[in-house]
Structure 1
């Protein structure tokens, strides 16, 4: 019996030694390792009425695990996402979540949250405003101007769409003496004349056909502007200034004799709480051009 007990003890010792040796060999052949990955970030569960901006494109991730597992892991095996199921319009901070393959451990993540902007998706149609760039010779004017198409559809973040005052097509007119056609890009401008980026446009350019007239007549006429809405109850309207308040018009004599003033498009002062300036481009009239064609309107409150 004692010999039998000793044999079993020896067998148990051998089994334990074999297990230890197995772990040792496995660890030597498949040691723990680390891998670094650049993973694209996706947005999930965003309501269709919203769009986002400032979302980071990628996140840096570092994983650890057995070498045989790590060498078979690629960026496509890792998921990085931002869940926007509870998103509302405005700026928000959202966690960047990471899903990793089985058998690995997340050691490092370059960003854990992101500050993003959530906007309501908006579509708006605008008439195109031709803007003549440069000055014609003394006896030259634009006898007719055709823009095709005449309107543009803009879409994107509501906060940007609301800022668009005009959709402008710039037409170089300097030294032109004959009829011409041109494809010109469309640019979106705010009230102060600054360019607005980040919106989709359909189309993004327009075809302009211009006929040149000769023997132009010139005269000066006053500029007028009206307002829409009321300023904020916390202030009162003090003054509206137009610069210049008269412009030179040049063109066909028969058209000019019936033209006594320029009425700018109404400016919206609804809820205005502080002084504001507009730069308004006056569209050419067939047979007449304006020099200058950009008018500054300043509304002062107190």
Structure 2
């Protein structure tokens, strides 16, 4: 019996040694290794009423694992995403989730969370405003101007669309002395003349047909400014206070003043100057066609 027990003890010791030797050989042939990957970040579970911005495109990931496993792992085997199931409009910080293949360990992740902006998706239509760029000869003027289409559909973040005051088509007239047609791009501007970027437009350009007439007469016309929200210590002035209009005599005889778009200064607390585009009049060329509006704030007495 003692001999039998010793044989079983020897067999168990041999088995343990064999297992240890097997792990040693395996580790020598397939040692632990690391791999680095740049993984695209996807957005999941976003409600259709929302759109996002400032979402990072990629995240850097480092994995460790057996060499035979690591060499077969590529960026497409790793999933990186942000879950926006319960997100609301505004700037929010969300975790960046990473899912890795089995048999690997996550050693490093370049970002674990990120700040993004969530906006309500909005669509709005704007009437196109022509803006003549350059000058015609002294006796020439635009007798007719057609824009097709006359409106543009703007879509995107609500906070950006709320900034849009005008959709403008620039019409270059330098060195023009006859009728012409062009495809002109459409630009979106805030009330102070600052461009609004980051929105989709349909269409993004408009077909403009211009008829040029000759033997124009000129006339100087004062500008009429209407300010909303004015108080005793806030005033707005424009420069220049009048513009030169050019066109046919029958058209100009009915133009004594030109009304500028209403200017709302109710919530303005700092002095500023911004561009105001003068509303176009059919058959009339204005010089200039925009003015500088300046808000001055006086101390309350």
- Residues 36, 63 of structure 1: 8 Å contact kept: yes
Q: What secondary structure, in the 3-state scheme, does the structure 1 residue paired with 2:72 have?
A: coil
Segments of structure 2 that go 5 or more residues without pairing to the other structure are none
What is the number of residues matched between the two proteins?
298
Segments of structure 1 that go 5 or more residues without pairing to the other structure are none
Superposed CA RMSD in Å reads 1.7
Aligned equivalents of 2:139, 2:225: Cα separation in 1 = 29
**Aligned counterparts, 1:214-293, within 5 A:** 214-228=214-228, 230=229, 238-293=234-289
- Residues 88, 118 of structure 1: 8 Å contact kept: yes
Which segment is superposed worse, 279-288 or 144-153? 279-288
1:132 is aligned to 2:132: yes
Alpha-carbon distance, 1:163 to partner: 1.2
1:107 is aligned to 2:107: yes
Alpha-carbon distance, 1:283 to partner: 4.2
Task: Provide, for residues 191-232 of structure 1, a one-character-per-residue CA deviation record: whole Å limited to 9, x for no partner.
Answer: 22121111111110000000000001001001112245x36x
- Residues 183, 205 of structure 2: 8 Å contact kept: yes
Match of residue 90 from structure 2? 90
Which segment is superposed worse, 129-138 or 279-288? 279-288
Q: What secondary structure, in the 3-state scheme, does the structure 2 residue paired with 1:17 have?
A: helix
Alpha-carbon distance, 1:300 to partner: 3.5
Aligned equivalents of 2:146, 2:294: Cα separation in 1 = 31
Which segment is superposed worse, 236-245 or 273-282? 273-282
Q: What secondary structure, in the 3-state scheme, does the structure 2 residue paired with 1:15 have?
A: helix
1:295 is aligned to 2:291: yes
- Residues 277, 299 of structure 1: 8 Å contact kept: yes
Aligned equivalents of 2:234, 2:8: Cα separation in 1 = 105
Aligned equivalents of 1:85, 1:213: Cα separation in 2 = 61
Match of residue 69 from structure 1? 69
Q: What secondary structure, in the 3-state scheme, does the structure 1 residue paired with 2:64 have?
A: strand
- Residues 261, 279 of structure 2: 8 Å contact kept: no
Q: What secondary structure, in the 3-state scheme, does the structure 1 residue paired with 2:280 have?
A: coil
The TM-score normalised by the length of structure 1 is: 0.93
Aligned equivalents of 2:111, 2:232: Cα separation in 1 = 48
Task: Provide, for residues 81-108 of structure 1, a one-character-per-residue CA deviation record: whole Å limited to 9, x for no partner.
Answer: 1122232222222221111111111001
Q: What secondary structure, in the 3-state scheme, does the structure 2 residue paired with 1:131 have?
A: strand
- Residues 144, 210 of structure 1: 8 Å contact kept: yes
TM superposition outliers: structure 1 runs of 4+ over 4 Å? none
Aligned equivalents of 1:188, 1:251: Cα separation in 2 = 28
- Residues 247, 291 of structure 1: 8 Å contact kept: yes
Match of residue 20 from structure 2? 20
